[in-house]
Structure 1
Amino acid sequence: MTTTTDIATFPLLSFQQIHAALLERSELALLDVREEAPFAEAHPLFAANLPVGRIELEAYARIPRRDTTIVVYDDGEGLALPAARRLHRLGYSAVHLLDGGLQGWRDAGGEIFRDVNAPSKAFGELVESQRHTPSLSAPEVKALLDAKADVVVLDARRFDEYNTMSIPGGISVPGAELVLRVRALAPRPETRVIVNCAGRTRSIIGSQSLINAGIPNPVSALRNGTIGWTLAGQQLEHGKTQRFSDRPTDPPGSQNHAQAVASSREVANRARVGRTDLATLARWQEEVGRTTYRLDVRTPEEYAAGHLPGFSSAPGGQLVQETDHIAPVRGARIVLADDDGVRANMSASWLAQMGWDVYVLDGLQQTDFSASGNPPPQLPPTSPYESVTPQQLAQWLQDNASGNDNTVLLDFTSSANYVKQHIPGARFALRSQLAQALQQTPAATRYVLTCGSSLLAGYAAGDAQQLTDKPVFVLAGGTAAWIAAGLPLESGETALASPRIDRYQRPYEGTDNPVAAMQAYLDWEYGLVAQLATDGSHGFFVI
C-alpha cells in the first residue's frame, strides 16, 4: 500500500522529465528493480537492473553518492515501492518513483529496449553502421583456417566465456588488451587479425579499436561471432585455455609498446577524452553533487597484485560492454587508470563516444599502486538474527524424516548455482518473492536460510522474521561452510520455491541455445540503430 508519507518521500518523475535529464546529461540512476529476466524483456535504454533483493549488496558500490537522483520502477509487480523504501533506509535522500512504472514509460511514447547491456550493444551497431567495420562470415573464416592462411583469431570476451566455447585456434584476448598485445601476437604486418566474440558488439568494438589505433595488419570482425559460427553448421572448440598472457609480450620501452601508447593516446584525444592527475582526482572526491567512478581497467590479476587505493576493478573490454551495470548513474564522471598508457586510453575513447564524461589518470608511478587484493565491499548492517552451524542443520534435516519436526531450508543463491549444487532438501528462493515462497512451503517448525556465504541470506532473515512467527535461523558460513564440513550435496531443480528469473538466458552464452533464439538475437541487434534514432536520448557519436 502506498501511503501519504511514501508520496511525500518518493515523488514521481515522468518520462518527459527523465528524458530531459538524459539530454542535459544530468546525473540520474534509473533503476529497474525486477529480476534480470523480466528486465531483459523490456526496459528503457539507460535503465540499470538492480533487483530489489540485492539492493543492500550492490547499491553502495554502484551508486556511491547518497544524494544521487534515483528513479525506481517495476512493471506492476509491486516491487518499486519496497525498493524505494529500502534505498531510503540505506541513506539515499533523492529517491523517486517512475510515474506509471514501465507502462507509464510506454504510454508516454518512451522507446523500449530488450536484452541486457542494451546501450553498449546499440552503440556497437552504430559504430559498424558509420565506420563500416570490416567483417568476414563464419564460412569465410573457416576457409582461411582450413587453408592454414596467415591469420590469427583473437577472442575479445572474458576468459571464462572463451573457455566455454571458442573458434578453433582462437586466443583469449579480452577487449582492452587488444591494442596493447596485438603487435606481439601478430608481428608480421601481413597477418590477418580476426576478432570474435559471441555475437556482434565486442568483435565490432575490438576490430575498430585495432583499426582506430592504426595497426598495419588487415583486421576483420567475425560476423555474428560464435552465434554465426554455429548457425553456419560449424563446430566450436570447448575448454580451450590459450591466453595472451601465455605468449611473448612487448615490454615497456620497446618500439611496439611505444607505438601502442602513442596511438591509443591519439585515439583518446580524437574522442575528446579528458586528462587528470591524482591531486585533481582527490579534489573531485570531495565535491558535493557529483559522482566520480574510479576504475582500474587492467586484468583482475593485475588489479589484485596492486592497484590505486579506492579504485575498483573493471577490465576495459567488459567495462565498455557492461557500462550500464558498472556505472548506473548516467551523467556521472568516470576516471580510468592503468600502468601501461594503452588500456585506459582505448577504453576511455569508447566511453567518451558513448556520451560519458571520462578522464584518464596520467602521471602515475608504480608506487601509486599501493593497495593489493580485492577490497571487501561496503555493506550496510543486517538486522539481528540467530545462526546455526552446519552440523546442527544436518541434525535438524535428519529429524525431518521422523515426521515430528520440519525444518524448511531456503537457498537464496543464484538459480544457476543452486542447480549446480545445494544442500539436500533446500528450496531455491528469490528474496524479492519471499512471501510467495513461504506460502508454497509446508508448515515449518523453523526456517533456515542460506546462500553461498550466507551474506544475502543474512539480509533476507529480517524479511522472513516479519513474515512468519516461526523461528528463523541463518546457516553460519552458508553453503560454503556446509561443503567445507564434508556434508552431502545434491544437484538439479529439486525444489523451486521461486521461478528461475534471476538470470536472463542469453542466446549467445552456453552450448545449448536454440537456433531460433540465436537468430532472433541477431535480428534484434540489427535493429538497434533504428531504435536509437527513435529514442533520441543517447548522445552517442562515432569518431
Structure 2
Amino acid sequence: MIIQTKNYSFVRNKLLNKEEIALLDVREEDPHAQEHPLFAANLPLSRIEIDAYAKLPKKTVPIVTLDDGEGFAQLAAERLIQLGYSDVSVFEGGVKAWKAAGGEVFKDVNVPSKSFGELVESKRHTPSLSAQEVKQLIDTKEDVVVVDVRRFDEYNTMSIPTGISVPGAELVLRLPELAPNPQTKVIVNCAGRTRSIIGTQSLINAGIPNEVHALRNGTIGWTLAGQALDKGQSRKFQEVSEATKSDAANRARSVADRAGVKRADLSDVQTWKSQIDRTTYFFDTRTPEEYEAGHLPGFRSVPGGQLVQETEMVAPVRGARIVLVDPSGGGVRANMPASWLAQMAWDVYVLDGFSSSHLTEKGAWKPSLPTLPTIASADAITVSNWLKNDSNTIAIDFSTHANYVKGHIPGSWFALRSQLADALKNIPEVDRYVISSSPSELSYFAAEELQTLTNAEVLVLEGGNLAWTNAGLALEKGPSHLASPPLDRYKRPYEGTNVDPAAMQAYLDWEFGLVEQLGKDGTHHFWVL
C-alpha cells in the first residue's frame, strides 16, 4: 500500500497553528523513550487495533506515524487506514529526519507534562524543602503532614515515612481535613519532581492557608540522601464534609476561571459527540471506584492527577478539545486539572449543569473496538489439558512484559507482536500455538498475524489470562520464557525500590534541563498562571 508522507515543516506548522494533529510514535515504549519529538505520542504498532478508537475518536484527524527506520510507521499507517482513518501519513525519514531538519528530541516518557512542570517551577519559584529538611521535621515531631500525590500503587510500593496517599487532583478537596490547622506545614511528594511541583502549586493557587512545600526531588531525592523509605503503606485520604467540599469547590472554580477554563453543559456534549470536524475527549476525573458506581455515558475514567501527568497517553491528538467532569466532588477534581491543561494550551472545558440522575452507566470503562478477527478458540480447561499432556502445544502471551512477569500460564512464552517474526525464531516449533493476552482482545489480532507466519494450528484462549485465573488454574511468575526483549516498557528511574543511584541522579539532571529544551523546541504554547 502506498502511503503519503509528511515532513518536519508540516508537523511543526500544525503545532504552531494549534491545529489538530496526531503525531504517533509507533515504536515500543523503550525506543520511544530514548528520543522522540515533544508531542510525539506513543501508540505502539502492537496495540493499534485495541487503542486507536479510544485515543483517536475522529476518523478524519490528520495522523502522522513515526518510527526510526524500522518499517513500523508504514505498517501502522496501513492498519489505521484499515480501521477507517482517512488522513494518514508516514513521517518521511523517521526520527533521524526530524533531527536533521533541526527538530528537538526528548528522552523519557510523559515529556510534555514533565517539561511543563519544570516551567511552572521556574516561573513561580514553587517552594520546596530538601529530603534532609523534611526528615528533620518528621523526626522532631513538628506539626507537619506529608501527602503523596502519585497513584496509590506507586505510594504502596514505596513512600515517605508518615506519608498519606492523596493523588494529585484530590489535594485541594482533601487537604483541609488532613491539615485543618492553618499552622500545619504541608509537604507534597511524588517520585521525582513534576507531580509534587504541580501539587504544591495547586494548593498555593487555590489559596490554601497552610505553608506548603514540595519535597525536592521526591522519593529519588530521599533515597539519594541515604534515607529509608517505607514500603507497603496504605494510608489514604478520607471523605470530607459538605462544608469542606463547598469551600474547595469555590477555590477550584476560581483557579479554573483565572486560567481561562471554559464551561460546557450536556447539550454541548451531545453536539461535540457527533461533530465530525473536531476531536473531543470526555474524561471523568474522579477515583475509578466512584466512576464505576455511576458515570455519564461516553466519559472515560481518567483520575485528574494522572491526566495532567500523562496527558498524551489518553489524548494524543494535540489541538483537540478536552471535557472534564467531577460529579461527586463539587467539581474540584475537574476544575483543578483543567486549570493545568489550559496552561498547557489545551482547549479545555469543565461540564456543569447536570444531576446524579444523569449518571446512568455503571462499571469500568470499556474502549470501543473494531470487529475481532475470526480465530478458533479454546477454553482454559482444554488449554490446560493440552499443555500438560501434549508436548506439541505451546502458549504464547502477548500481554505487557510487566503483566507477564506478574503472572502467566505456566510454560508460556512472552512475545511482542511488533517483533513477532523474530520472536518465533526463539519459540520451539510445534503443531499448535495457543495465544493469550491481557486484554484478551489483543490475542485475536496477534493470532491472525501469527497464522501468516506458521503452518501450525493457531487458537486463542477464550477470555485471555483472566479466564485462566477464573477457572482456578495456577499462574507462573517471573520472566521465565522471553521470546522478545521487554521493549514495551521503559525502565523509569523513579519506579521500584532497586534503582541505581547514578540513574536517579541522571534523571534529575535531565529534568533540570527540560526548560531549556522547551525553548529550543518552540511549539508548545505553554504559559503559567
TM range (shorter): over 0.9
SS across alignment from 1:294:
strand
Deviation, 1:455, is 1.9
Deviation, 1:160, is 0.8
Q: Which amino acid aligns with 2:10?
A: Q
Q: Is the 8 A contact 1:181 1:250 kept in 2?
A: no
CA–CA distance in structure 2, aligned partners of residues 515 and 119 of structure 1: 25
Q: Which amino acid aligns with 2:407?
A: Q
Q: Which amino acid aligns with 1:438?
A: L
Match of 1:531 in 2: 517
Q: Does 1:467 align with 2:453?
A: yes
Q: Which amino acid aligns with 1:525?
A: E
Q: Does 1:191 align with 2:184?
A: yes
Match of 1:379 in 2: 369
CA distance 1:139–1:390, shift in 2 (3 Å): same
Match of 1:87 among 68, 80, 103: 80
Q: Does 1:506 align with 2:476?
A: no
Deviation, 1:488, is 4.0
Q: Which amino acid aligns with 2:500?
A: P
Q: Which amino acid aligns with 2:450?
A: A
- CA shift digits 1:194-226 (9 cap, x unpaired): 100000000000000000011111000000000
CA distance 1:280–1:421, shift in 2 (3 Å): closer
Match of 1:269 in 2: 257
Q: Which amino acid aligns with 2:92?
A: D
Q: Is the 8 A contact 2:301 2:365 kept in 1?
A: no
Match of 1:296 in 2: 284
- CA shift digits 1:510-532 (9 cap, x unpaired): 11111111111100000000000
SS across alignment from 1:497:
coil
Q: Which moved more, 1:136-145 or 1:275-284?
A: 275-284
**Equivalence map 1:306-345=2 (5 Å):** 306-339=294-327, 340-345=330-335
CA–CA distance in structure 2, aligned partners of residues 453 and 204 of structure 1: 34
Deviation, 1:487, is 3.4
CA–CA distance in structure 1, aligned partners of residues 472 and 291 of structure 2: 33
Q: Which amino acid aligns with 1:428?
A: F
Q: Which runs of 4+ in 1 moved over 4 A?
A: none
Normalising by structure 1, report the TM-score: 0.95
Match of 2:200 in 1: 207
Gaps of 5+ in 2: none
Q: Does 1:422 align with 2:412?
A: no
Match of 1:180 in 2: 173
SS across alignment from 1:244:
coil
CA–CA distance in structure 1, aligned partners of residues 206 and 246 of structure 2: 12
**Equivalence map 1:469-508=2 (5 Å):** 469-508=455-494
CA–CA distance in structure 1, aligned partners of residues 366 and 245 of structure 2: 34
Match of 1:258 among 246, 264, 280: 246
Q: Percent identity?
A: 60
Normalising by structure 2, report the TM-score: 0.97
CA distance 1:485–1:262, shift in 2 (3 Å): closer
Deviation, 1:489, is 3.2
Match of 1:357 among 335, 340, 347: 347
Q: Is the 8 A contact 1:452 1:479 kept in 2?
A: yes
Output the aligned Cα RMSD. 1.3
Match of 1:445 among 431, 435, 438: 431
**Equivalence map 1:373-412=2 (5 Å):** 373-401=363-391, 406-412=392-398
Match of 2:152 in 1: 159
SS across alignment from 1:360:
strand
Q: Which amino acid aligns with 1:440?
A: N
CA–CA distance in structure 2, aligned partners of residues 397 and 286 of structure 1: 48
**Equivalence map 1:42-191=2 (5 Å):** 42-191=35-184
Q: Is the 8 A contact 1:448 1:473 kept in 2?
A: yes
CA distance 1:366–1:393, shift in 2 (3 Å): closer
CA–CA distance in structure 1, aligned partners of residues 135 and 281 of structure 2: 42
Deviation, 1:424, is 2.3
Q: Is the 8 A contact 2:372 2:441 kept in 1?
A: no
Q: Is the 8 A contact 2:255 2:339 kept in 1?
A: yes
CA–CA distance in structure 2, aligned partners of residues 200 and 343 of structure 1: 21
Q: Which moved more, 1:124-133 or 1:13-22?
A: 13-22
